[in-house]
Structure 1
Amino acid sequence: MKNVMLKIKGTQNPVGNNEDVIELITEGKYYDKDNARYLVYEESELSGMEGCTTTLKITDDKVELKRFGRATSKLVFEKGKRHVSNYSTPYGNFRMEILTKKLDLEMDEKEKRKISLEYRISLQGLSEGTNKLDIEIM
């Protein structure tokens, strides 16, 4: 396991609302295990998920994002595939549906590695939109 710096940019484009962009740089951990790469980092107040730990499991054609803490969720990103999961918050549990439009991974062993996702999200009919997530491992 090695310490890394992560540059994270999240863009939310909810239907009927203005685009919201969050950018942050944070410390994280990176390691390889069982033919997958893992990133682990603590969420901050800026992301709105303070008190949560996020783990990304990265394989050749899939990214799984798990959050633990005051909100828990598991998101699966596979290009062209729809995945349904539960999103647990202090305010209740919600059904979340993800349809991944784009999944680009540059995960060779060079200095910089990148993950780029674009996906449609529906939160139990309460909210819908297109989101982007870009992570650069520095």
Structure 2
Amino acid sequence: MEQETPLKKDVIITIASSQDFEGCEPDHINLITAGRLYRRGGKYFVSYEESELTGMEGTRTTLKLEDQQVTMTRTGTHPTQMLFAKNKRHVGLYQTDVGSMAISTHTSHLVNTIGENGGSLAIDYTVEIDSTLAGTHRFEMAVTPSNDAPHLS
């Protein structure tokens, strides 16, 4: 059996996220943060700490990237797990300040090019709460190894 070469890189993560909930103004978040890219068991992972900007300070987000499936796990102050796979619906528990609720995600678009030198990820999905459409989301992420990224000043 071929031995996997360990991979751990410091990366710069650029996230552009938009949410459009029924009856609310669209919400956009643009974030640039430091994170880590690593490989384990033949799969790539990207992890980073959430910030005040996202409203989830004290939370670590880890994305497990497979060909056409992404698992997002949050640990810390806002624990949750969401699964994104094109044309699939996933039901999970989402923790909020007032308790947990069951939410469903339905992924309509997923493109993942993240590999050992970084890359990008784009996911379009809808969110349902109690089987009622609550909103549409677009999540885009670019991952650049720290030594290749322009320095932030």
Gaps of 5+ in 2: 1-7, 145-153
**Distance in 2 between the 1:51 and 1:125 partners?**
30
Matched, 1:117 2:136: no
TM-score when normalising by structure 2 = 0.84
Aligned to 2:36: 29
Aligned-residue Cα RMSD (Å) equals: 1.5
TM-score by length of 1: 0.93
Task: Check if 1:67 corresponds to 2:74.
Answer: yes
Q: Percentage identity across aligned positions?
A: 33
The answer to whether the 8 Å contact 2:91/2:104 transfers is yes
* Range with greater deviation from structure 2 (85-94 or 69-78): 85-94
1:47-101: CA deviation from partner (whole Å, max 9, x where unpaired): 1111100000000010000001111110000000000000122310100100001
How far apart, in 2, do the equivalents of 1:49 and 1:126 lie?
A: 25
Contact 2:14–2:31 (8 Å) recurs in 1: yes
Residue 35 of structure 1: how far off its partner (Å): 1.8
**Gaps in structure 1 of 5+ consecutive residues:** none
Structure 1 segments, 4+ long, off by >6 Å, are: none
Q: Is 1:70–1:89's contact at 8 Å kept on the other side of the alignment? A: no
What is the match of residue 99 of structure 1? Answer: 106
Bigger Cα Rg: 2
